[in-house]
Amino acid sequence: MAKTIEGLYYSESHEYVRIEGEYGYIGITDYAQHALGNVVYVDMPEVDDDVEAGSEFGAVESVKAASDLNSPVSGTVVEVNDALEDTPELINSDAFANWIIKVQLSDPSELDNLMDAKAYAEFCEAEH
């Protein structure tokens, strides 16, 4: 069973968003980091860049593969997780604690298009 956290929103491309007020913290799921293996680099956008729901905003590279990052929501990047520049492997130690970007949401109704923890766990099971 895929590890999930109640209260987060999940996309089919294995990103999550944690909502705090008008902000969303976006990262990859535990399922995604397991599939990738040891993360060696995270390509992130710049602060003030706009991201669109379903569109690419960066990439995660591991020793096995590179994977595009797709934003689950639209908004403006207000912060990037600088710690990942020097220690990208933090994503492997705890994918949910080590978000990649923080965005100011432009359309909170987009959250309705994402899965909750239970639906995401079922989605991951179906992918096996």
The alpha carbon torsion through 86, 99, 57, 127 (nearest 10 deg) reads: 110
Bridge-partner residues for 18, per DSSP?
25
Give the chain's radius of gyration (CA, Å): 13
Task: Indicate the SS3 state at residue 41.
Answer: strand
pLDDT 10s digits, 66-108: 999 999 999 999 999 999 999 999 999 999 999 999 999 999 9
Check whether 1 has a pLDDT greater than 80: no
Residue 127: band (very low, low, confident or very high) from pLDDT cuts 50, 70, 90: confident
The arrangement of strands across the sheet holding 56-62 comes to 39-43, 56-62, 66-70
Residue 7 CB coordination number (10 Å) = 9
C-alpha–C-alpha distance, residues 121 and 8, integer Å = 12
pLDDT 10s digits, 38-69: 999 999 999 999 999 999 999 999 999 999 99
pLDDT for res 11: 98
The overall average pLDDT reported for the chain is 96
Task: Indicate the SS3 state at residue 100.
Answer: coil
Look up the pTM and report it: 0.96
